[in-house]
């Protein structure tokens, strides 16, 4: 049945094994340490854990430069440790997703080393080569300002190789059937070890045509259907969560009109316009983005997020909108990245303002789709702008006030824990927030618990409710004869709004799910609600007997 799709009402928690907890005492997080924190994750209420790359790698790009897709990097442990972790997660009712990085490999991968050494190597055609430097080599860089070409000359191969990302990450020729077969084999391997799905990195580049003569890449969408078919055959509940920052007119091509391609995609369109709304108190572009991305097959789902391990990409905004967001959240050059984004974590972007943080995460948990949060979000972790590029937001988890935030017993961790200042582990850590019933972490735990009790958001259809205030976002979700209505005030000033909830007689009563502040309509059927600055409301339409009224179909 379609209601068996676990990802439709999940809460996904993204973490980097290397920055979560170190049990081996070598200053690097590992699977043994992660095992010891499974009960913490279970208590927080997350239902799925997404792991950033942990396969064998020289780690020039945080593990996204893989040298062996079938091995755990020794710094994190062994395959046995990984299986113990997936088993422990399963015992606690949590699923495990892992990064699938198959657009490129490390330059040190044995496949590339063989390919560069011999033109007759069976791996030569696994990569993209050119005897001459292509004329468009200075176009299409993923990291402008850091990367100046997509083609690099290799003296050993005596040819140019293509790399959409850094020059130590040569692109795989994903049009090659042998490469496609290897990708399926990689997925099958990790599924056997307890994985329930993959966050597929850089999907448009994986399915795009590549070559010296290719100036405008063409997406090979049938490749996505092949990936999905393999997962359904191998293990029916496995999914792919696609990283595909594409325009809304391409969304259905990635989902498949029959829902036969990607199970989930990150909603970059909503994400970027959400930050514009937070910066400007203007929800019109966000509402437009939500309407533009509304259409999707019944089996498909959006992954909604605020910040992730990359920069906050603002490339889809207009120049004026982007400058508004820069001015509000990343005003200095050291806060910006790649000429298009902001590299900070959310808490410092919002200046640690509890009201704005609650607003932002309340929005995340009530946008249409599945919420994806990042490690440290639940305690309001900060960033270290002295670290290069995206590394500033990939600092170790802050567990306590013990040395190095309780992350490691080593005298010095490989990556520094944030210390001193308002976001140092001395002030921001799990242990302190555990003891404070009013802490942000305990607020987050309560909001996650409530989100799981509101399946209408993940499963239902939705409508934007008109309140005649551009600073207000009002959404109603309807599913199986039940409805919820969510209000958010993006302005710092209180606003009184008037609206009709719809839903006939049921819509005259709105029961607040978070506090005792309920709302009753007047004789004309209109509700009047006073929303404080950065205020939010989660309403159940028609009362708390909704489970008795829920339809079966």
Catalytic one of 73, 81, 201, 445: 201
d(Cα 250, Cα 224) in Å, to the nearest integer? 14
* Cα 48 to Cα 42: distance, rounded to the nearest angstrom: 10
What are 45's two structure tokens?
Answer: 């209420």
For residue 531, how many other CB atoms are within 10 A of its CB?
Answer: 22
Question: How many helices (DSSP H) and strands (DSSP E) are in the chain?
Answer: 17, 24
Give me the residue label for tokens 């050494």: 117
Give how far Cα 274 sits from Cα of 9, 58, 312, 489, 528, Å.
21, 36, 11, 12, 25
- By CB neighbour count within 10 A (0-12 exposed, 13-18 middle, 19+ buried), where does 370 fall? buried
What are 12's two structure tokens? Answer: 């996904």
Two structure tokens written together for 529? 């609600």
In which element (H, E) is residue 48 found?
Answer: strand 48-51
In angstroms and rounded to an integer, the radius of gyration of the C-alpha atoms of the chain is 24
Which residues are CB-contacts of 408 (< 8 A; sequence separation ≥ 6)? 22, 25, 26, 27, 28, 396
201 is catalytic: yes
Q: Which of 243, 282, 383, 445 is catalytic?
A: 243
Q: Measured between alpha carbons, how far is 123 from 144 in angstroms, rounded to an integer?
A: 29
Active site residues per annotation: 201, 243
């Amino acid at each position: 049945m379609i209601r068996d799709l676990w990802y439709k009402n999940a809460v996904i928690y993204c973490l980097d094994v290397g920055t979560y907890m170190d049990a081996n005492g070598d200053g690097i997080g590992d699977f043994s340490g992660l095992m010891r924190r499974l009960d913490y994750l279970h208590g927080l209420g997350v239902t799925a854990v997404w792991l950033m790359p942990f396969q064998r790698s020289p780690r020039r790009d945080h593990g996204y430069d893989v040298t062996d897709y079938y091995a755990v990097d020794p710094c994190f442990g062994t395959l046995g440790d990984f299986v113990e972790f997936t088993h422990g997660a399963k015992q606690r009712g949590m699923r495990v997703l892992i990064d699938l990085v198959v657009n490129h490999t490390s330059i040190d991968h044995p496949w590339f080393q063989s390919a560069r050494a011999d033109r007759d190597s069976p791996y030569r055609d696994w990569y993209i080569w050119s005897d001459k430097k292509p004329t468009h080599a200075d176009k299409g860089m993923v990291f402008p300002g850091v990367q100046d070409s997509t083609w690099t000359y290799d003296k050993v191969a005596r040819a140019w190789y293509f790399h959409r990302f850094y020059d130590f990450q040569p692109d795989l020729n994903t049009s090659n059937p042998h490469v496609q077969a290897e990708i399926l084999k990689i997925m099958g391997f990790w599924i056997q070890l307890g994985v329930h799905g993959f966050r597929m990195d850089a999907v448009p580049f994986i399915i795009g045509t590549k070559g010296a003569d290719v100036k405008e890449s063409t997406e090979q969408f049938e490749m996505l259907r092949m990936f999905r078919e393999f997962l359904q055959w191998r293990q029916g509940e496995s999914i792919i969560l696609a990283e595909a920052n594409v325009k809304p007119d391409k969304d259905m091509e990635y989902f498949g009109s029959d829902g036969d391609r990607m199970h989930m995609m990150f909603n970059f369109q909503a994400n970027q316009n959400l930050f514009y709304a937070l910066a400007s108190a203007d929800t019109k572009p966000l509402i437009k983005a939500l309407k533009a991305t509304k259409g999707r097959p019944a089996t498909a789902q959006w992954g909604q997020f605020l910040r992730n391990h990359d920069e906050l990409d603002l490339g889809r905004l207009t120049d004026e909108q982007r400058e508004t967001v820069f001015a509000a959240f990343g005003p200095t050059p050291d806060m910006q990245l790649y000429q298009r984004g902001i590299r900070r974590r959310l808490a410092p972007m919002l200046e640690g303002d509890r009201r704005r943080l609650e607003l932002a995460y309340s929005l995340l948990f009530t946008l249409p789709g599945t919420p994806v949060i990042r490690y440290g979000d639940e305690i309001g972790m900060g960033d270290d702008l002295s670290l290069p590029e995206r590394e500033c937001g990939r600092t170790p988890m802050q567990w306590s006030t013990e040395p190095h935030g309780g992350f490691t017993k080593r005298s010095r961790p490989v990556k520094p824990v944030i210390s001193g200042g308002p976001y140092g582990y001395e002030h921001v850590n799990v242990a302190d927030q555990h003891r404070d019933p009013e802490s942000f972490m305990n607020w987050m735990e309560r909001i996650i618990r409530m989100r799981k009790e509101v399946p209408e958001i993940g499963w239902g259809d939705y409508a934007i409710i008109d309140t005649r205030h551009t600073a207000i976002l009002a959404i109603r979700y309807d599913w199986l004869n039940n409805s919820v209505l969510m209000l958010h005030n993006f302005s710092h000033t209180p606003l009184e709004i008037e609206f009709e909830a719809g839903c006939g007689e049921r819509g005259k009563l709105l029961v607040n799910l978070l506090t005792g502040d309920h709302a009753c309509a007047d004789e004309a059927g209109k509700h009047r609600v006073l929303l404080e600055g950065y205020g939010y409301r989660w309403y159940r339409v028609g009362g708390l007997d909704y489970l008795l009224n829920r339809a079966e179909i």
